[in-house]
Amino acid sequence: MTRALFIVDVQNDFTEGGALGVAGGDDVASRISAHVAAHRHEYAIVVASRDWHDADNDNGGHFAAGEPDFVQTWPVHCVAGTAGAEYDDHFDTSAVSHHLKKGQGKPAYSLFEGETDEGVTVVRLLEEHGILDIDVVGIATDYCVRASALDAIAAGRHVRVLTDLVAGVAAETSDAALAEIAHAGGELTKTVD
């Protein structure tokens, strides 16, 4: 078994009611949980990432000093140790084998920019477990899911984005992100449950 599941940033601040909540976030969290429950045996590892930003600085300009541009600068979100940084309540993390934190003082979009509390990187996890194939799900399609999928493709893995298990900020930018992933060699598919 050489397949991994990457679950990107299913956190309170990215679901309904959060600082950067996307429509459909809670529903995607529930559907990801159901997918993992039904298909855990298909994955050598299940990796979940979280934005985990510092509270005492702007995280390398990631947090806007004034009005955010929602491209490079953002409202304060996913501050380490706060409720907003925790996983969404609809996301059952019991089958997650590895938890990654990303950000931590700097901008970070891709799951590949994170590491475990022990300092283990995604690249190391992929190598240690002989992972060749990766399914990517989570939030937000047009930002962190996009970056994670493209980095996985760049790392030489076969990538599938499970399009019914992602939620994005906006339809236009989400569609563009999925098209970019497909153009880079990723596969776009839906789950079959």
For the annotated catalytic residues, the residue numbers are 9, 102, 144
- Is the distance from CB of 143 to CB of 14 less than 8 angstroms? no
Nearest to 178 by CA among 53, 83, 189: 189
Q: Is 72 helix (H, G, I), strand (E, B) or coil?
A: coil
Count helices and strands (H / E) in the chain: 4, 6
Q: What is the H or E stretch that residue 166 is in?
A: strand 158-167
